[in-house]
Amino acid sequence: MPSPDPNTNSGPARDRFDALHQELRDRICLLDYAPGTRLSETVLAEEFGVSRTPMRRVLARLEAEGLLHSVQGVGTFVTDATIDELEQVYRLRMELAELSGRLAPMRPTPDQLDGFRQISNRAKALIDTPDPRAFARLIMDFFLALLALTDNAPLREISERLYFQTTRIWLTSLFDSVLDAQREYEIFNREVEDILVALEIGDMQAAAHIQRAHISMSFTRMQQGTS
């Protein structure tokens, strides 16, 4: 019996799907495909060596997740968001962050704590050698690592989805120099340090509240830079 998974959450076809899905999602969220970019099913299918059919399935999933939008005869576009839509999501994300610390918090394992320390080191390194794309990847890793400390699976999925929908828009402001990149690096480094302190003493609610505060402030800074 080579399949140790009785629930059949894997399989050849599903693995291919997941690989394509994650790759395209990363490209969108790391701004390789900026908001408004038009994608072609054909060229994407050729790039990954599959036909349009499975590629369309992946694109349809990304559309369900709010990252793409297809219209017949025109094309499939990477979604954008107005400042008002963004504010709604950020308000919600703030509440969900607090929920993560209150509903089903899990104290980090030693391995997980090491992971956070590595993230902190990467953040410090970024201050000296700026790299926007590495920064995008880093804040994603940090968010996902924090999310892993929540035992509520639906809450994890929802928070993750909202993160992918909004942070790339926020990063756009950073890439376009609406926000000061160097300053953001330092702020993030401080955030990681502060949350790490809370995690090390096992105060998950404190960590959640710090995260909530930074979600709020990052949006406020973007608002002020835009106006």
57 binds DNA (CB under 7 A): yes
* 90-109: contacts with its own copies (CB under 8 A): 91-92, 95, 99, 103-104
Instruction: Rule CB under 7 A: choose which of 22, 32, 64, 75 binds DNA.
Output: 75
SS3 of residue 39 by DSSP: strand
Cα distances (Å, whole numbers) of residue 35 to 47, 52, 68, 121, 190: 21, 22, 9, 30, 29
For 70: left if phi > 0, alpha if psi spans -120 to 50, otherwise beta; the answer is beta
Give dist(CA 194, CA 149) in Å, integer.
16
Q: Find the binding residues for DNA in span 27-56 (CB under 7 A).
A: 39-42, 50-54, 56
- Which residue in 72, 82, 177, 227 binds its own copies (CB under 8 A)? 72
Say whether residue 3 binds its own copies (CB under 8 A).
no
CB of 63 to DNA, least distance (A): 8
Going by C-alpha positions, the residue among 29, 219, 216 that lies closest to residue 227 is: 219
Q: Which of residues 153-172 bind its own copies (CB under 8 A)?
A: 153-155, 158, 162
Answer for which of 4, 12, 110, 154 binds DNA (CB under 7 A) is 12
